[in-house]
Chains A and B, each alone.
Chain A
Amino acid sequence: MEPLLEIRGLGFRYEGMAAPVFENLDLVAGAGEFILVKGASGTGKSTLLRLICRLNRPQSGAILFRGKPLTDMTPSLLRSHISYVAQIPQMADMSIGENLLLPFSFLANRTKTPPSNEMLERMLAQFYLEGTGLGQSALKLSTGQKQRLAIMRSILLQPDLMLLDEPTSALDPESASMVFSIMERLNAERNMTIITVTHSDYLPKSVRKVLFMLQNRQLNRITDL
């Protein structure tokens, strides 16, 4: 079966930096896989996620989505299938409800059905955000609340592949395990492929693959569980 995502010989170096962040990185993700990316700071974990959704451009190697090079796809259409949640959650200067519905105003998502207010309120409760109203300003939320809201906003788009950059870094243990359990459920029920960078010791049950990014950039290794 054709993998959902295939990375071949990927190399990336930031402009002005002598050494590349990584070189010759390979990774294959099948549909419905749950992959953890681990490693020390500066090993390129976040960069890898940004390269997959084309927020950065690699100097070498190729990334294929459903067998097609990313460079052959319209960026906005690609990103309506691959959703990326950054480590520092970003909210537009709008209400919580408007922030959640923001992606549905974009052309690439016009075929997707926006959720009803009832559904949004149900989801807010699932994400331990029941105390907040849809009309409340999203900018006034705490970082942890924004992090949950950002994940929720991505889930609403029902992407094929979700890229999460330390999604629980600002969460208390209880909220963190709630986020992981929701991700596990999405992975199991909707066959959503998930790649997440994490420093957490929590190991979701459905994880079968861990990519360890090492300082010695030639030695990145994949462990199958």
Chain B
Amino acid sequence: MNRIIAISTPQLLLAFVFIIIAQASSFIYHLGLNRDITIGAVRTFAQLFLMGYVLTFIFSSESLWLTIGIFVVMVVSAMFIVKGRVNEKQVPYILPTFLTMLVTYFATALFVSGLVVGTTPWWEPRYFIPTGGMVIGNSMSAIAIALERLFRDMRQQRELVEMKLSLGANYREASDDLFRNAVTAGMIPSINAMMGVGLVFIPGMMSGQILSGTDPLIAIRYQIVVMFMLVGSTAVTSIVVMLIVRKRCFGSGEEVLLTPR
């Protein structure tokens, strides 16, 4: 019953059928996605294999510093992805965003791994790294969405913000709606995920556990912890990042620094 079926190399190559289907669709309908699909497929293959070997090495080494090192590399990579998506040059948001992500994600992974699951030591790589990975992956998207929204609204509603400023509002009062909308936009996917989980979809982690032979009743407990963890860390990170970055959208005279593109 609990037998794990390992995927052999020929079986793995069989999965490329899906990539061929995607390539053919792009070719037939002139979607112009062939290059991206190829790069995506190669990167998925290479990155995951690399990750597999790295994880095997880290799990066997049982080194605290190596575990933290790989965690930092994951956060740095997430920051680069956020930077690529947001593409904002007028406001220096990268350093505060990175530091907030690092601290919040670390605290969340530590809490879940060390306290909720109760691993010994608290940084047990088999738990700490996948937990950190899930937090980083989900929250990274939320931050990118929230930042994009904040910068876009700040530009589009600049005159409205300035109207409030010119009537005596401080920068917080003038941009209160923008801040709230940005945080909400970032959090909605995590909240929606909580609504749909178990009904609309079976999350990746739970599916993975079940496929590897874990009792579904144990898998759901992990999944509940993960869902709550994602909502909590997304909320904290989005709010802290938005508070810092919003302040940086204004100059020393509380004037709006973002100009129309």
Contact = CB atoms under 8 A, between A and B. Distances in A.
Given A108-B168, A108-B169, A55 B163 contact: no
Contacts of A90: 159-160, 162-163
B173 A83 contact: no
Interface in B172-188: 173
Given A90-B159, A92-B160, A54 B168 contact: no
Contact of A102 (B164, B252, B254): B164
Contacts of B168: 76-77, 79-80, 103, 106, 108-109, 157
Contacts of B170: 75-76, 106-108
Contacts of B256: 55
Interface string B140-166: 000000000000000000011011111
Contact of A57 (B163, B171, B253): B253
A70 B252 CA distance: 11
- Indicate the member of B163, B167, B171, B251 with the most A CB atoms within 10 Å: B167
A71 B251 CA distance: 11
Contacts of A54: 253-255
A57 B169 contact: no
A12 interface: no
Interface residues of B, number: 20
A79 B159 contact: no
Contact of B162 (A86, A103, A106, A108): A86
A75 B167 contact: no
A195 B171 CA distance: 25
B192 interface: no
Contacts of B164: 92, 102, 106
Nearest to B160: A90
B8 interface: no
A182 interface: no
Interface in A145-179: 150, 153-154, 157
8 contacts: A71-B252, A76-B168, A79-B167, A86-B162, A86-B163, A106-B170, A106-B173, A150-B163
Interface of A: 15, 53-57, 70-71, 75-77, 79-80, 83-86, 88, 90, 92, 102-103, 105-109, 150, 153-154, 157
Given A70-B253, A90-B162, A150-B163, 8 more contacts: A54-B254, A79-B166, A79-B168, A83-B167, A102-B164, A103-B168, A103-B169, A108-B170
